[in-house]
Amino acid sequence: MTKATVSIIQHSPVYLDKTKSVDKAISLLEEAAKKGSQLAVFGESWLSGYPAWLDYCPEAGLWGHDPVKEIFYQTYQNSVSVDGEEIAIIKNAARDLKINVSIGINEIVNQGSANKSIFNTLLFIDKAGNLANHHRKLMPTYTERIVYGHGDGQGLKSVDTNIGKVSGLICWEHWMPLTRQAMHNSGEDIHLAVWPKVHEMHQVASRQYAFEGRCFVLAAGQILRKKDLPSILDTTGIPDDPEYLILNGGSTIIRPNGFYLTEPLWDQEAVITAEIDLSENIKESMTLDVTGHYQRNDVFDFKVNSDRNT
Check 171, 188, 215, 284 and give the catalytic one: 171
Q: Catalogue the E-assigned strands of 177-277.
A: 190-194, 216-220, 223-225, 245-254, 260-266, 270-277
Helix %, strand %, coil % of the chain (to 5): 30, 25, 45
Q: Residue 56 contacts by C-beta under 8 Å, 6 or more apart in sequence?
A: 229, 235, 237, 238, 246
Active site residue 44: yes
- E strand map for 126-244: 131-136, 159-161, 164-170, 190-194, 216-220, 223-225
Angle, in degrees to the nearest 10, between helices 177-185 and 200-213: 40
8 Å CB contact between 47 and 80: yes
In sequence order, the β-bridge partners of residue 225 are 245
Give catalytic status of residue 30 as yes or no: no
Separate counts of helices (H) and strands (E) for the chain:
7, 13
The single residue of 18, 24, 44, 197 carrying the catalytic annotation is 44
Q: What one-character-per-residue DSSP string does 18-57 give?
A: HHHHHHHHHHHHHHHHHTT-SEEE--TTTBT---THHHH-
Question: Around Cβ 77, how many Cβ atoms within 10 Å?
Answer: 13
d(CA 79, CA 22): 12
Taking each helix axis from N to C end, the angle separating 18-34 and 85-97, rounded to the nearest 10 degrees, works out to 10
Cα 245 from chain centroid (whole Å): 19
From 127, 137, 157, 197, active-site residue? 137
Residue 239 burial (CB count, 10 A) = 10
The dihedrals phi and psi of 279, each to the nearest 5 degrees, come to -65, -20
Q: Looking at the annotation, which residues are catalytic?
A: 44, 137, 171
